[in-house]
Amino acid sequence: MSADPLNRAGTPQHRTTGPPSSGSGASAIEVRRSARRRRTVSAYREGDRTVVLIPARMSEAEEQRWVNVMLDKLAAQESKRVLGDTELAERAERLSDQYFDGRARPSSVRWVTNQNTRWGSCTPAEGSIRLSHRLQGMPEYVVDYVLLHELAHLLVPGHGPRFWRLLEAYPRTERARGYLEGVVAAERLPHLPGARGE
């Protein structure tokens, strides 16, 4: 394991944990505590693990909160590398294989710029799935949830109990729905010009 260049003068404390229940696709998280680090928290990917650097004085609860914050931040940064339509279709195929035993097979999956009131849409008769461009830059687990939501419509057209049972297989369904609800709520907040300077 490579040394942490930010903690050369001190001896950081290392702790490796498994993947978080709500976190990213990384297989392990390593928390490195440092007495020299006062307030800042940072994170980066190192092979198949995520390293989170925190001040040594942080409580366990603060550590867990910051680990989740930093995982979301890394995921958002990574998803800003926008997938093209081909990659999006490949991702949909992998998700269908993983969660629906490959039963949902769309004929096309693509980004569109004309969906400003919904995140995705599906036309089961044509097998086509369209995702709103507004999802680009959101964490991968959110994009995956929307893809799975639309893939599920290829198997169950409505939003009845059978539909929601299909989505229960995806462990981040509730988290992704909460994220999207938060985005919608934030868009409805009043934006006061000059509020910061007052």
Give the count of beta carbons closer than 10 Å to the beta carbon of residue 13: 13
- pLDDT the model gives residue 178: 93
Model confidence pTM above 0.85: no
Average pLDDT over residues 34-62: 86
In the block, tokens 């507004």 appear at 134
Helices (H), the chain: 60-79, 85-100, 140-155, 161-167, 173-188
Is residue 3 within 8 Å of 46, Cβ to Cβ?
Answer: no
Task: Over range 163-187, report the average pLDDT.
Answer: 91
Residue 189: per-residue pLDDT: 81
| Lowest-pLDDT choice from 38-47, 79-88, 130-139 | 79-88
Model confidence at 177: pLDDT above 80: yes
Q: Residue 6: pLDDT above 50?
A: no
Instruction: Return the structure tokens found at 24.
Output: 């990213």
CB 140 within 8 A of CB 87: no
Compute the average pLDDT of residues 66-89.
Answer: 80
- Mean pLDDT for the chain overall: 81
Residue with tokens 């035993």: 101
